[in-house]
Structures are given as structure tokens and as C-alpha cells.
Amino acid sequence: MICGVDEAGKGAVLGPLVIAAAGCASPEELEGIGIRDSKELSPSRREELFPVIIERCSTAVLSVPSADVDRHRLRMNLNRCMARGHAAVINRLAPSVAYIDACDVNAERYAHMVREYLACNCSIISRHHADTTYPVVSAASIVAKVVRDRAIAELSDEYGDIGSGYPSDGKTIAFLRAYIKSNKKNPPIARKGWSTVTSLLNEEFQVKITRFFGP
């Protein structure tokens, strides 16, 4: 088996980090179904491809809630967190070769990090933009994105419109600012170690200080 590994939500401030692996016997099994990097596909097209990928590939998915991302970040940097997650889904499939989208500026250094956590005998091919180069990585990116999008939809049902969960999304920032203003703390679905959250908490604290002491 060969497999591809990719993730969704690495840079998000809200919601889970989702890491997925998709494995198949050969790249030919993914031909003719229109697989591309998930970022190049509409949400509806990703949903259409998702069951096709599940049918044609062996898959493994790891969904890491925000609190667990924060907990892991206390002991290691984000790249090492990602390497552990990538290795975890590779271990579930135990392929002979795994293609991964490198999370480090040094692709080979990232491959070495992933190898440290492998429990199976697997060759690692680490490349930047692997999700656009290798269809099996594109398949993994679609699985990860669909799983995360569904998780965000569930969180929106619970908390109201939280946007995409990324700090570049105005809806996400508006939700965070309103929640912090009302509750004087970050929401449990936020990654409290992210600068976006700490900045908004500091902003609210400054507002309280100004109101108490005056300008």
C-alpha cells in the first residue's frame, strides 16, 4: 500500500485539527474521479468526492480538539505535534510508502521527525505542496477537510456562526470578540495558546482597565 497524509485546521484558532491518511494499492485507483487538492475544490465537490475516496481507499483520521492541541503545545512545537499526528495515521494503515505534505520549511527534516514516531516499516517521502503533486495526498486532504468542515458545522450549531475557525475570517474574530466580552474568557473550542486569542483577551482586559480608571 501507498498512502498520502494531509491535515486541515493546522492554523485555525477555533475547532479541531484533523489529520487524515488515504491509502491504496496504486495511484491508478484514483484516476478519473477528479481528485485535486481540497483547497481547489468547492465544499459541495469535496462532499461528493468524500464517499468515493472512502470506497476506493483505506483511510485513517485523527481529530484533535483545541484543548488537546494546547496541551501538546506545552511540551513541543507545532511542527513536532504535526509529525506525531502524521505518524499516528500512517501507523494505522501501515503502508510501505507514505507521501506527506511537509509541515517544516525543511522537508527532509520533517520526514525525520515523522520517522521518530513510526511503529511500522514505512518509507517517508516528504514534499512541500504534496497535496497538489500526489493524488493520494490530495485524497487525504479532501478527507481531512470534509471531516473538519463537518465538525465546524456542529460547533456552529452549538455556539452560533463561528465562521471557518481561521484568524483571517472576520466571522471567526467577531465570534471570539463577542464571546470573550460576554464571558471574560476564551471559548473552550479556541486554542488559547494562539496569539489571536491572547490579543483579544488583552484587548478586553484593557477595556476593563480603561472603564475602571478612566482614559
Is 204 within 8 Å of 184 (Cβ atoms)? yes
**What CATH fold (topology level) applies to the domain 2-156?**
Nucleotidyltransferase; domain 5 (3.30.420)
Q: Using CA of residue 55, residue 5, residue 119, residue 191, what is the dihedral sign?
A: negative
Specify the CATH number for 160-213; select among 3.40.50.1110, 2.60.40.10, 1.10.10.460, 3.40.190.10.
Answer: 1.10.10.460
List pLDDT tens digits, range 96-107: 999 999 999 999
List pLDDT tens digits, range 87-143: 999 999 999 999 999 999 999 999 999 999 999 999 999 999 998 889 999 999 999
DSSP characters over 171-208: HHHHHHHHHHHHHSS--TTB-TTSHHHHHHHHHHHHHH
If we measure between CA atoms, which residue out of 86, 136, 158 comes closest to residue 116? 86
Alpha-carbon distance values, 203 to 31, 165, 191, 206 (Å)? 51, 20, 17, 5
Is 15 within 8 Å of 155 (Cβ atoms)? yes
Residue 154 CB contacts under 8 Å (≥ 6 apart), including other chains: none
Q: Do the domains 160-213 and 2-156 match in fold?
A: no
Domain boundaries, the chain: 2-156, 160-213
Is 3 within 8 Å of 22 (Cβ atoms)? yes
| pTM beyond 0.85 | yes
